Amino acid sequence: MTAAAPAALTSEQIGVLARAVSRAPSVHNSQPWQLLVRGTEVDLLERRDVGLRRHDPSGRDRLLSCGAAVANLELAVRALGRDCHVGFRDDDVVATVTIGRPRTPSARDFALYQAINRRRSHRRHFYHNRVPAAVHTAVVAAGETTGIHLVVPGRLDKLAELLGFATRVLREDRGYQRELELWTAHTHGWEAIGDGVPEDALSPEALPVAGLVRTGTPVPDDVVLTERLAAENLLVVCTDGDTRTDHLAAGAALQRAWLTATAKALVGSVLTQPLHLTGLRSRLVSELALPGVPQAIFRYGYPAVPSAPSPRLPLGEMFPPPGGLR
Ligand SMILES: Cc1cc2nc3c(=O)[nH]c(=O)nc-3n(C[C@H](O)[C@H](O)[C@H](O)COP(=O)(O)O)c2cc1C
């Protein structure tokens, strides 16, 4: 007797997956993904029409964002009590999640799934920098996998110098500033509908080198910046290669680390903005003796002040209309 094939998803279950994907972090909150459900296979598609020519000319951050969404998708499938296999691909479909038989989720996966709704970008101060060693180890371990390294940067003076330089350049870059303005959302809160970075996230309380730089953003000098970085917990997400698959895997790793931090009552934010400046990534590799290509910097700690959630597009927009991508 042959075993019955795994059951297809119900519309309620598809809704659970879509909600989890929608809460993933994404560059400028652009939410550059769609879902295609085919029985027991779920494709995550990259929306290449969502382009940030100044911030993300190569689309690397768009793939990192899709990688984070894939991590959420996998956790949601497991939380529904189904086994699954995730295969990264190299076309508009960036990953296919093949849903298998019923399987109780591990306590760890379930805790990460529950953290999906609580995670948000915290671009503000942290309470203090004492994150217990065991917590730090868990955050790093959640992200590390073959070809991915989460590294504590050693030379904070060098890092401050490079971040300060990038911030000053971007502050004066009018094309970059125009794009950021276009992607500034004037809505915020749990119920807010849309895309873009909320105005709140760019307010003066947001730390200059923790967030996105506007023309009026003050930049501290390198000494102050070094001290500020020393009061945070920082991880540089590095990959062995720099291919599309590396970018996807880095995004998924970042998200697992971020959700692990969230599950442990920590908050964080991610920085990629400076890494797009010509030559900056290779300077980081040499000055910080990194073991791979830097894809993102994750800062985390206990929150000194709360941060508001950002808006999301209606879930219906996540499903391509018949006939193809939007
Ligand atoms: C690949 C990637 C790059 C990002 N780069 C930055 C950045 O340079 N600066 C920043 O403040 N936030 C950055 N973010 C955070 C997004 O702006 C944030 O995830 C988005 O606005 C949604 O908000 P949320 O994280 O609160 O859900 C990045 C996120 C991703 C996934």
Over residues 130-150, the pLDDT tens digits come to 899 999 999 999 999 999 999
Give φ, ψ of 7 to 5 degrees: -70, 145
Task: Note whether residue 314 is domain-resident.
Answer: no
Q: What is the pLDDT of residues 221-280, one digit of tens each?
A: 999 999 989 989 999 999 999 999 999 999 999 999 999 999 999 999 999 999 999 999
Using the atom order of ligand 1, give the atom closest to the CA of residue 197. Answer: 21
| CA 118 to ligand 1 center in whole angstroms | 15
Residue 205 above 70 pLDDT? no
- Domain-ending residue, one of 120, 145, 165: 120
Task: Note whether residue 78 is domain-resident.
Answer: yes
| CA 27 to ligand 1 center in whole angstroms | 5
Based on the fold, state whether residues 49 and 154 are members of the same structural domain. no
Task: Note whether residue 320 is domain-resident.
Answer: no
Q: Give the pLDDT mean for 156-175.
A: 94
Based on the fold, state whether residues 149 and 279 are members of the same structural domain. yes
CB atoms inside a 10 Å sphere around CB 157? 14
Based on the fold, state whether residues 180 and 278 are members of the same structural domain. yes
pLDDT value, residue 234: 96
Task: Note whether residue 4 is domain-resident.
Answer: no
Based on the fold, state whether residues 296 and 158 are members of the same structural domain. yes
Provide the CATH number for the domain around residue 55.
Answer: 3.40.109.10
Ligand 1 neighbour 271 (Cβ under 6 A): yes
Nearest in space to 292 (alpha carbons), one of 237, 247, 234:
237
Task: Count the domains in the chain.
Answer: 2
| CA 9 to ligand 1 center in whole angstroms | 31
Task: Note whether residue 307 is domain-resident.
Answer: no
Whole-angstrom Cα distance, residue 89 to residue 74? Answer: 15
| CA 211 to ligand 1 center in whole angstroms | 8
Q: Give the pLDDT mean for 37-60.
A: 94
Based on the fold, state whether residues 52 and 187 are members of the same structural domain. no
Whole-angstrom Cα distance, residue 65 to residue 28? Answer: 10
Based on the fold, state whether residues 153 and 283 are members of the same structural domain. yes
Residue 325 above 60 pLDDT? no
Task: Note whether residue 317 is domain-resident.
Answer: no
The rounded mean pLDDT for the chain is: 92
Ligand 1 neighbour 202 (Cβ under 6 A): no
The alpha carbon dihedral of 317, 320, 322, 326 has a sign of positive
Based on the fold, state whether residues 173 and 283 are members of the same structural domain. yes
Ligand 1 neighbour 121 (Cβ under 6 A): yes
pLDDT value, residue 15: 97
Q: What is the residue whose two structure tokens read 């959640």?
A: 142
- Domain-ending residue, one of 93, 120, 147: 120
The alpha carbon dihedral of 111, 114, 118, 121 has a sign of positive
Based on the fold, state whether residues 151 and 228 are members of the same structural domain. yes
Distances (CA, A) of 4 to 1, 79, 171, 208, 286: 9, 22, 59, 56, 55
Based on the fold, state whether residues 160 and 46 are members of the same structural domain. no
Based on the fold, state whether residues 157 and 77 are members of the same structural domain. no
Q: Which two tokens stand for residue 23?
A: 């809460």
Using the atom order of ligand 1, give the atom closest to the CA of residue 309. Answer: 26
Task: Note whether residue 5 is domain-resident.
Answer: no
Parallel, antiparallel or unpaired: strands 33-38 and 41-46: antiparallel
Task: Note whether residue 63 is domain-resident.
Answer: yes
Three-state DSSP at 140 gives helix
Based on the fold, state whether residues 20 and 111 are members of the same structural domain. yes
DSSP 107-140: HHHHHHHHHTTT--B--S-BS-S---HHHHHHHH
Distances (CA, A) of 199 to 177, 181, 218: 14, 10, 17
| CA 128 to ligand 1 center in whole angstroms | 22
Based on the fold, state whether residues 295 and 167 are members of the same structural domain. yes
Q: Give the pLDDT mean for 163-169.
A: 92
Using the atom order of ligand 1, give the atom closest to the CA of residue 120. Answer: 26
| CA 79 to ligand 1 center in whole angstroms | 25
For 252, the domain range is 133-301
- Domain-ending residue, one of 94, 120, 146: 120
